[in-house]
Amino acid sequence: MSYAFREFLKKVGSGVHTGEDLSREEAATAMRMMLLQEATPAQIGAFMIAHRIKRPSSEELAGMLDAYDQVGPKLQPWGVRKQSEGEPEKPISCPSPQTVTVLGTPYDGRSRTAPVTVLTALVLASVGVPVLMHGGDCMPTKYGVPAIELWQGLGADFSKLTLAQVQHLLESIGLGFIYLPRHFSHAHELVPYRDQIGKRPPIATIELIWSPYQGDVHIVAGYVHPPTETLFRETLAQRGATHFTLVKGLEGSCDLPCERTAIIAISQPNSSESFERLLLHPRDYGFGGKEIPLDSTPQLLDQMRDVLQGNSSELMPAAIWNGGFYLWRCGVCPDLPTGLAKAEALFTSGQAAQKLEEIGNAIASTQLAHHS
């Protein structure tokens, strides 16, 4: 048993009258001890459920993200790379530094509505906006379809790549995926606790705003409950993250809804206000309608292929609505109507499909080169 961890557990688990929040440093130490299995299974499970009941503070979430930075995988900024194991970081010849858009999605996936995040990633990457995603396999508590499974179904299997290969793909084709079981085994080993406690732990919250990329990032994350937006903004502020987009999205994802008003908080780093709240009514732009249900993964993949082939598909409006918004938000298009028209053109012209093919070919050639 870890006596140091027991003190953290006593603070968060003492109830409404005597319980206390951890400091940022304490939260970072506690998270690191869980990731490194220095706390016992009983302690880890107790901490997760106690923290779930107490609700984490922004300071605690900032500390837990600090631990993820310390223990987890790190993709280096453009222009800096470790030459080999044990050597210091040195500048190397590679493309100019760019802001990477990190699309945070719930690790336990989607189970009710059809996700279009993968299509959004393809739209952005096809016009030169680097995109990074991260996640694992099907996991508790929702056991929804995970993003990695959709990429695999579309012919882009990121799961077998090394971290160095992910870095190369991000820089060469503008899209990468951090796969938990391979690239962050410490976090992957905590997944069974989600099933055992029957609730999403605070880890499921920090995953949405975590970035494995060490350079300039644009954090994109979704949430379900309105107070989470404030929690995210306060956490990001403590960590000095000034570029973000937070969406009250479908099932806590960053997918904008078509059935209701999209509530979005965007950062305003060059303004006296730290953020601006957008209320976008999809019907005002011709994209209102019922959300597309997620009936099965094979059916969803067929719908996504139809979109990429430019065919008429019930998923097409949601794909254009989301793709157009993020093209505007990422600075590719000057306004939302232009972004929507651009997104539609990327699908109907085959450019997004061509980007998917490029990604699949790049992964295959990377793996071939590795084995040879």
Same structural domain, 40 and 160: no
CB 315 within 8 A of CB 303: yes
In one-letter notation, the amino acid at residue 119 is L
Strand order in the sheet with 175-179: 175-179, 131-135, 100-103, 217-222, 244-247, 262-267, 275-280
Neighbours of 301 (CB within 10 A): 17
How confident is the model over 334-371, as pLDDT tens digits?
999 999 999 999 999 999 999 999 999 999 988 766 65
How confident is the model over 12-48, as pLDDT tens digits?
988 776 789 999 999 999 999 999 999 999 999 999 9
Q: How many domains does the chain have?
A: 2
Is residue 81 domain-resident? Answer: no
Same structural domain, 22 and 149: no
CB 352 within 8 A of CB 308: yes
Q: What CATH number should be reported for the domain holding residue 183?
A: 3.40.1030.10
* Residues paired with 244 in a beta bridge: 219
Is residue 230 domain-resident? Answer: yes
Tokens of 226: 């309105």
Neighbours of 346 (CB within 10 A): 27
Q: Give the pLDDT score at 93.
A: 33
**d(C-alpha 217, C-alpha 210), whole Å:** 10
Q: Range with the lowest mean pLDDT among 73-82, 124-133, 245-254?
A: 73-82
The domain of 246 spans 98-371
**d(C-alpha 40, C-alpha 57), whole Å:** 24
Tokens of 218: 């644009």
How confident is the model over 225-244, as pLDDT tens digits?
999 999 999 999 999 999 99
Same structural domain, 158 and 286: yes
